[in-house]
Amino acid sequence: MLLKFDDFEIKLNLNNSQTALKLAKLSSFKAQINTWGEEIYFETANLGIKPDKNARDVVTFGEVAYWCDGHSIAIGFGKTPVSIENEIRLVSKVNVFATFITSTKILNNLKKLDNNHRVSIII
Protein backbone atom coordinates (compact mmCIF):
# COMPACT_ATOMS: atom_id res chain seq x y z
CA MET A 1 0.00 0.00 0.00
CA LEU A 2 1.27 3.45 -0.89
CA LEU A 3 0.14 6.81 0.49
CA LYS A 4 0.80 9.60 -2.03
CA PHE A 5 0.72 13.21 -0.90
CA ASP A 6 1.51 16.31 -2.97
CA ASP A 7 5.25 16.37 -2.30
CA PHE A 8 6.05 12.95 -0.85
CA GLU A 9 4.87 9.38 -0.46
CA ILE A 10 4.96 6.73 2.24
CA LYS A 11 5.27 3.03 1.42
CA LEU A 12 3.42 0.95 3.99
CA ASN A 13 4.56 -2.48 5.07
CA LEU A 14 1.38 -4.33 5.99
CA ASN A 15 1.39 -6.82 8.83
CA ASN A 16 -0.60 -10.07 8.74
CA SER A 17 -3.56 -8.83 10.81
CA GLN A 18 -7.21 -9.15 9.79
CA THR A 19 -7.33 -5.35 9.55
CA ALA A 20 -4.48 -5.31 7.01
CA LEU A 21 -6.09 -8.11 4.99
CA LYS A 22 -9.41 -6.24 4.80
CA LEU A 23 -7.78 -2.91 3.88
CA ALA A 24 -5.67 -4.60 1.19
CA LYS A 25 -8.92 -5.63 -0.56
CA LEU A 26 -9.99 -2.01 -1.08
CA SER A 27 -9.66 -0.39 -4.47
CA SER A 28 -7.30 2.56 -4.72
CA PHE A 29 -8.99 5.79 -3.61
CA LYS A 30 -8.45 9.43 -2.67
CA ALA A 31 -9.36 11.00 0.66
CA GLN A 32 -9.44 14.34 2.41
CA ILE A 33 -6.95 14.62 5.29
CA ASN A 34 -8.08 15.60 8.76
CA THR A 35 -5.65 16.65 11.48
CA TRP A 36 -5.81 16.37 15.25
CA GLY A 37 -2.69 17.68 16.92
CA GLU A 38 0.21 15.83 15.34
CA GLU A 39 -1.94 13.14 13.80
CA ILE A 40 -3.42 12.87 10.34
CA TYR A 41 -6.33 10.62 9.55
CA PHE A 42 -8.60 10.00 6.60
CA GLU A 43 -11.75 8.00 6.04
CA THR A 44 -12.03 4.69 4.24
CA ALA A 45 -15.07 2.67 3.30
CA ASN A 46 -16.80 1.08 6.29
CA LEU A 47 -15.45 -2.46 6.20
CA GLY A 48 -16.94 -3.55 9.51
CA ILE A 49 -13.52 -3.70 11.15
CA LYS A 50 -13.70 -4.04 14.94
CA PRO A 51 -10.94 -3.41 17.50
CA ASP A 52 -8.75 -6.50 17.76
CA LYS A 53 -7.24 -8.00 20.93
CA ASN A 54 -4.05 -5.94 20.44
CA ALA A 55 -5.86 -2.62 19.95
CA ARG A 56 -4.22 0.28 21.78
CA ASP A 57 -4.39 4.03 21.96
CA VAL A 58 -0.65 4.78 22.19
CA VAL A 59 1.41 4.25 19.03
CA THR A 60 4.95 5.00 17.94
CA PHE A 61 6.07 7.08 14.97
CA GLY A 62 6.23 4.72 12.00
CA GLU A 63 3.11 2.74 12.92
CA VAL A 64 -0.07 3.12 10.88
CA ALA A 65 -3.38 2.37 12.53
CA TYR A 66 -7.03 1.86 11.69
CA TRP A 67 -9.47 3.80 13.87
CA CYS A 68 -12.54 1.55 13.87
CA ASP A 69 -14.98 4.11 15.31
CA GLY A 70 -14.16 6.62 12.55
CA HIS A 71 -13.53 4.13 9.71
CA SER A 72 -10.21 5.90 9.19
CA ILE A 73 -6.52 5.29 8.68
CA ALA A 74 -4.49 7.23 11.24
CA ILE A 75 -0.83 8.21 11.41
CA GLY A 76 0.35 9.72 14.67
CA PHE A 77 3.69 11.51 14.54
CA GLY A 78 3.71 13.58 17.73
CA LYS A 79 1.57 14.93 20.51
CA THR A 80 -2.21 15.01 20.24
CA PRO A 81 -4.65 16.83 22.53
CA VAL A 82 -4.87 13.72 24.77
CA SER A 83 -1.14 12.89 24.89
CA ILE A 84 0.55 12.55 28.25
CA GLU A 85 4.04 14.07 28.07
CA ASN A 86 5.65 13.06 24.74
CA GLU A 87 3.59 9.99 23.86
CA ILE A 88 1.60 9.66 20.64
CA ARG A 89 -1.86 8.97 22.06
CA LEU A 90 -4.82 8.65 19.71
CA VAL A 91 -8.41 9.42 20.70
CA SER A 92 -9.33 5.76 21.27
CA LYS A 93 -7.93 2.28 20.71
CA VAL A 94 -6.83 1.47 17.18
CA ASN A 95 -5.62 -1.56 15.24
CA VAL A 96 -2.02 -1.16 14.09
CA PHE A 97 -1.92 -2.72 10.62
CA ALA A 98 1.26 -1.38 9.00
CA THR A 99 4.60 0.33 9.50
CA PHE A 100 6.81 2.59 7.43
CA ILE A 101 10.45 3.61 7.50
CA THR A 102 10.69 6.87 9.38
CA SER A 103 12.92 9.82 8.64
CA THR A 104 13.24 13.46 9.58
CA LYS A 105 12.11 14.35 6.05
CA ILE A 106 8.86 12.34 6.40
CA LEU A 107 8.24 13.82 9.85
CA ASN A 108 8.70 17.36 8.53
CA ASN A 109 6.41 16.65 5.56
CA LEU A 110 3.69 15.22 7.81
CA LYS A 111 3.86 18.33 10.00
CA LYS A 112 3.14 20.50 6.93
CA LEU A 113 -0.13 18.72 6.12
CA ASP A 114 -3.45 20.27 7.07
CA ASN A 115 -7.15 19.82 6.36
CA ASN A 116 -6.70 21.35 2.89
CA HIS A 117 -4.64 18.38 1.67
CA ARG A 118 -5.69 15.13 0.05
CA VAL A 119 -4.03 11.74 -0.08
CA SER A 120 -4.13 9.07 -2.76
CA ILE A 121 -4.17 5.54 -1.39
CA ILE A 122 -2.77 3.09 -3.90
CA ILE A 123 -3.44 -0.55 -3.13
Quick: pLDDT tens for 19-40.
Answer: 999 999 999 999 999 999 999 9
Residues in the chain: 123
Q: Which of 73, 63, 66, 53 is nearest to 94 (CA)?
A: 66
CATH architecture of 2-122: Beta Barrel (2.40)
Q: Which residues pair with 39 in a beta bridge?
A: 76
In angstroms, the CA 16 to CA 12 distance is 13
pLDDT score of 78: 98
Per-domain residue ranges for the chain?
A: 2-122
Helix (H) or strand (E) holding 120: strand 118-122
Mean pLDDT value of segment 80-93: 97
What is this structure's pTM? 0.96
With the CA atoms of 100, 105, 108 and 111 taken in that order, what torsion angle do they form, in degrees rounded to the nearest 10? -30
